[in-house]
Amino acid sequence: MAKKEYVPLFETRQVKGRILFRCIAASILLGICFIIMYRIRYFPVGGKAERWTWIGLFLSELWFSFYWLLTTVCRWNAVIRIPFIHRLSQRFGKELPGIDIFVCTADPLLEPPSMVVNTVLSMMAYDYPPEKLSVYLSDDGGSNLTFYAMLEAANFSKTWLPFCKKFQVESTSPEAYFRTASELVNVQEWLSVKV
């Protein structure tokens, strides 16, 4: 039996500017050490109020130094992972689980139906097997306006979803696509939408 060769699903790269970040972190650590040495060296011998003020300042500086150390350690070896989305369906095409997505809305004045429709349409255009993807809309306000907007969106989706698949549209929200489409005009795409 031949072994299946698995190609990686993502690539790991080092973040640019690590040396600069480490130099800045080292200088901040040096400054923190100087502050702590100063606080320990010049303990107030005066009144009680001065001591309590000194203790409060020293404890807060220790706390923020500890917090800074924790956040810096997390960023010390920063990497970014670039996923290869097309390889996911190649490797797990038949084994992908079914996904249910719930979109909730309540008030058509606070959440305009155009925004709700854009959300639903962009989720329906995900690069995922359509038979394993279910999108549900929960309208707690029971708005007629949202209902009719979704009816129109259902008609528009018959054109929009094949368009997204055919031209591999990255911004699957119609509003975002048409806002940026004027900058990147592709005649074939526009003729396809017009038809």
Residues found in the chain: 195
Are the C-beta atoms of 121 and 157 separated by less than 8 Å? yes
How many Å apart are CA 84 and CA 7, to the nearest integer?
Answer: 10
Q: Is 111 annotated among the ligand-binding residues?
A: yes
Residues 6+ apart with CB under 8 A from 84: 7, 8, 9, 10, 11
Residues 6+ apart with CB under 8 A from 164: 125, 172
Ramachandran region of residue 52, left (φ > 0), alpha (ψ -120 to 50) or beta? alpha
Are the C-beta atoms of 83 and 127 separated by less than 8 Å? no
Q: Would you give the DSSP letter of residue 112?
A: -
Annotated binding-site residue numbers for UDP-alpha-D-glucose: 111, 140
Q: Which residues are annotated as a binding site?
A: 111, 140
